[in-house]
A and B are shown apart, each in its own frame.
Chain A
Amino acid sequence: MARKGKVGETRILESVGMTKRFEGLVAVDSLDFHIPDGAIASIIGPNGAGKTTFFNCITGFYEIDEGEILFDGARINGRSPDQIARAGISRTYQNIRLFNNMSAIENIMVGQEPHLKSSWIGAIFGSPSTRQEDALTEERASELLHFVGLEGKGDMLSKNLSYGDQRRLEIGRALASQPKLILLDEPTAGMNPRETIETTAFIRRLRDEIGITIVLIEHDMRVVMDISEHITVLDYGRKIAEGLPADIQTNLDVIEAYLGRGAAASLEN
């Protein structure tokens, strides 16, 4: 059951006191955050602020030490990564992690995994339901390839695709599970300005056309301020600010975290 947040807004993802430690280092420190349903939200923060750890905790790669994570009102911490994926969260990676020796279309077909039901026995005997599902999987994969702008490149091995295409394919693979929430880890990393603008537009299209909630980790402040409707700022594993882009831009704690105490002080005066 989704809890009510601000007026007219449900929270798709929220955490209460989420803490993750690595042998003494507190990577995420009793974090309370929430992501509004249907929003494009960003997580920002200096290097080592715990952003990717945050993603890994949500997707079940790390088990959190304290606190709770609620997705769509249900507790998901303690579940395995594949169960969380089936619940409707999917992600991309900072350094692209495609299935390199599989073709582009196969990558997307694997992405549809949470909705597939056919068994190996059906595959051996070629049962009608398996054939039907396979055909449907392939058809959906082609549609998605088209959607992410990779039509005609389905049979290429994913590692032979260009960098930009690989980024798009990874997003396509994440979309294939028809998630409610998608976590994008630095989707514009390593892109030139034109590609960055295209990707930004593409992310907005994702939300507007498919209606998925999007959380992105991003370093490029122009991208963040351009498309985010909700920003969470982390530093040393703690949340130091949260809110609309305009609020964040003028928040002194944020400026201090990014530029140092002196810069914040001089702005204050």
Chain B
Amino acid sequence: MDLIWTQTSRRVLVYGLLAGAFILFIGAVGMIAAFHEREVVDRFISLGQLMLMLAPFVTAYYVAGQVAERDQDRPLALVSGVLIGLLTTVPTVILLLFNSDQYRFLLDLTLRLTPFVAATITAWRMHRAGAEAQTALGAWLAIVLLVGIVTFSFALIFEIKGNLRSVLVNINREWVAVVTFDNRGDLMRGLGALALVSTVSGFAGSILYLLPAVPRRALIYGLGVTALIGAFGETARLILQENVDRDTLREIFRRDTLRQNAALALFIISTAAGFLWARYGGQARARFGSLESAQRRAINIIGLVLFVVIMLMLPWLIGRTLSDVAVTIGIFVLMGLGLNIAIGLAGLLDLGYLTNYAVGAYILAVLTSIGPLGLFKGTFTFWMVIPLALLAAMFAGFVFAVPVLRMRGDYLAIATLGFGEIIGKLAISDWLKPLIGGAQGVQAIPKPIFFGTELKNPEQLYYIVLVASLVTLFVSIRLNNSRTGRQWMAIREDEDVATAMGIDTARAKLLAFTLSAATGGVAGAIFAAKVGTVFPNSFTVFISINVLSLIIVGGIASNPGIVVGAIVLIGMPELLREFSEFRFLLYGALLILMMIKRPQGLIPSKIVTHETRSGVKPKLATAE
């Protein structure tokens, strides 16, 4: 019993404080204040506040799961939920106290005491571990001095500036307002509000875990859908505005925010739907599984047809603004599918994918532009140049692949990264300025004309991206199931053995690089036509990194995964403007999280699922 208590209490302490540190961190980088600007439900809760509640909620849910599984103790799980809620506030509360005028002395005290406490603890542990008194004393002195210098300089800065903002720029009035739930004037009330909200969230999290499976899943579904639609209120409104009349729209949204009644209705509906799925979904799937293969095939085909119809009608369903986002996503899907040929199929870690994108864009720009840099002033049309852009990108891919054929793994990645940088520098160079305009780039690129109609709207450009993506998808599926695909896979698995099987690996790798480059060229050309101008600063290493990240997040070698990855990594920052400031922070966090928790990606390819299923021991069954 004692053991359980210590283990449980330690777990609660660690996870609670971790969640608290997380809250403090996202506050200190400015996320909470920035996200507070966006309301999830009108005059009820903002995205910033939602994050404050979500941290203890999720942590409590997780820890309650561990406590309930391990100790078979349900009341204990509830208590730990409450404790986690409280603990989550601790780091924030301390910082709030430090930041207030009344309790500033706590900060001074802490800063002054820290060196002595740290030194004493260390010296004491050394002494207990058997170090000589002199050594321990020496260590004590050294630590007091070293840590002292740091803390006293901090203390000095605070003394002069008079607040924390001088060091932590985002610990400002806005942040205080959010975390105290608008009780900036009365700190104690603010702390009380924070503690109350956090504790209730933690408690709710642990209760949710202890519910029976069906209502639990229904609630998670309902809460998730409501929060997601609320957070992406602007997007949701843009979609609805295309399909619903003005008055209904006004009843659902106040400007871009979900109204309270609408949110409640949405929550009830999505929970009910979640309940039905949780209750009967398994049966439905079982019945589908027991169908004859012909019937199953028919259902799959119906699903596919439905999907294609939706994809074809998408611009009408979502309107202009979102179509523009869809085109951007589509361009990245296209690049993702292309790069996946090199990375996913042949296992060639190519970090210079930007090269092909830039080549495609500049070829289209220079050949079709009607501006001063245009070579033919409109004689060439978009449709004539697309194949040229494709061939040029293939050529570039080929040329850059030749020197790296003998390289593998990390070396290949670094070499291709270097090639990407070279292209970026060439684009901005004075040497090529007469041809591609240096930093000014190429302007006045006409839009594609399709049987007399100028495709100038994103709704129309969407179809070009869609067709290009579908063609790429088709080609990559065909190749994947062919002799060429098997050669690539063999090289990915073991290049030496692949050679010993009689595969000309140099040839196969060249082909992978070249075909993968082709798609990049097309994507670049479409991008140039969409934007109408081509600047060198569109072609930074971040393009390569974005494409690589979306493949990893979506799932390597998984085509649906690439689409989902592009929506998450490219679409989300476009749709949620507050995100874009923290885009790379989120990329980093998401990549680390994916690598630890779900290395196979969001929608793993079949092969990788096999791998993780066989390689990793199944986790302890959680509650089902």
Residues of chain A having any CB pair with chain B under 8 Å: 59, 61, 80-82, 85-86, 90-91, 93, 97, 99-102, 106, 109-111, 113-114, 116, 118-120, 123-124, 126, 130, 133-134, 137, 157, 159-160, 173, 177
Contact = CB atoms under 8 A, between A and B. Distances in A.
A142 to B, nearest CB: 15
B482 A110 contact: no
30 contacts: A80-B499, A82-B499, A90-B500, A97-B496, A99-B493, A99-B498, A100-B493, A101-B493, A101-B608, A102-B489, A102-B490, A102-B607, A106-B489, A110-B486, A110-B489, A110-B498, A110-B503, A114-B502, A118-B482, A120-B479, A120-B484, A120-B511, A120-B515, A123-B482, A123-B484, A124-B475, A130-B483, A157-B610, A159-B614, A177-B502
A61 B500 contact: yes
Given A102-B493, A124-B478, A81 B483 contact: no
Contacts of A160: 610, 614
B607 A99 contact: no
Nearest to A106: B486
B620 interface: no
Given A102-B607, A109-B486, A130-B483, 16 more contacts: A81-B496, A82-B503, A85-B501, A85-B502, A93-B497, A100-B494, A101-B489, A101-B610, A102-B493, A110-B486, A111-B501, A113-B502, A157-B607, A159-B611, A160-B610, A177-B502
- Which among B478, B482, B485, B608 has the highest number of chain A CB atoms within 10 Å? B482
Interface in B602-620: 607-608, 610-611, 614
A110 B487 contact: yes
B505 interface: yes
B442 to A, nearest CB: 32
B504 interface: yes
Contact of A82 (B482, B485, B494, B505): B505
A105 to B, nearest CB: 10
Nearest to B475: A124
Interface of B: 475, 478-479, 481-487, 489-490, 492-494, 496-505, 511, 515, 607-608, 610-611, 614
B487 to A, nearest CB: 7
Contact of A81 (B489, B494, B500): B500
Contacts, number: 102
B479 A123 contact: yes
B446 to A, nearest CB: 31
B489 A113 contact: no
Contact of A116 (B483, B496, B610): B483
B486 A91 contact: no
Contacts of B478: 123-124, 126
A192 to B, nearest CB: 23
B14 to A, nearest CB: 36
Nearest to A157: B610
Contacts of B610: 101, 157, 160
Contacts of B505: 82
B499 A177 contact: no
Contacts of B479: 120, 123-124
Contact of A59 (B483, B487, B500, B608): B500
A6 B497 CA distance: 35
- Which among A100, A120, A124, A160 has the highest number of chain B CB atoms within 10 Å? A120
Contacts of B484: 119-120, 123
Contacts of A109: 483, 486
Contacts of B492: 101
Contact of A157 (B483, B515, B614): B614
